[in-house]
Amino acid sequence: MSHPILRLATAEDLPAINAIYNHYVLHSTATYQTTPETEAARLAWFHNRNLAHHPVVVAEQAGRIAAWGSLSPFGKREAFAKTVENSIYVHPDCHRRGLGRLLLQDQLQRAAAAGHRALIAAISSDQAPSLALHRTLHFAEVGRLLQVGWKFDQWLDLVYLQRLL
């Protein structure tokens, strides 16, 4: 398998990004969204971002998008401007290849370069691999919201992890 190439996403990558994301919408608690994201909504999401401060990055491997990640505003109020929330989604056929780690390391570098102070991860408590990945890169659990998500006929706890940059 070829080495992955990380690069900023383009509009042409959005169908692949959306396909990966919608897999998790339909089959996982990695996102609390329950209905698939439309192509129009994904395009609006991409075009309404300040990509300098909230980039979308893809991991391309063997000519296809194998994973993607983004940094998003943490809150709507101005005082949160230096805090970002991360998202990482790996194609289900590409797990356990180090793509999540590669993207998270890249996010840490990009967030610091953009002048952000804190990176927040909001992860369902049943997503052990994602929690472990963040902890290996020195994220600390800073909060846990009990039974705030309802998906697949079960209550889900949300874990907040944080890393200062």
pLDDT per position as a tens digit, 96-145:
999 999 999 999 999 999 999 999 999 999 999 999 999 999 999 999 99
Spatial CA neighbour of 67 closest among 130, 160, 151: 130
Radius of gyration for the alpha carbons in the chain, expressed in angstroms and rounded? 15
| Secondary structure (3-state) at 101 | helix
pLDDT per position as a tens digit, 4-49:
999 999 999 999 999 999 999 999 999 999 999 999 999 999 999 9
Mean pLDDT of the chain: 97
Strands laid side by side in the 154-164 sheet: 5-8, 56-61, 64-73, 83-90, 118-124, 154-164, 140-151
- The length of the chain, given as a count of residues: 165
pLDDT band with cut points at 50, 70 and 90 for residue 2: confident
Go through the domains of the chain in sequence order and give each one's CATH number: 5-117 (3.40.630.30)
- Find all residues with CB under 8 Å of 48, minimum gap 6, and list them: none
- What pLDDT, on a 0 to 100 scale, did the predictor assign at position 160? 98
- What pLDDT, on a 0 to 100 scale, did the predictor assign at position 155? 98
Spatial CA neighbour of 90 closest among 60, 66, 121: 66
pLDDT per position as a tens digit, 67-99:
999 999 999 999 999 999 999 999 999 999 999
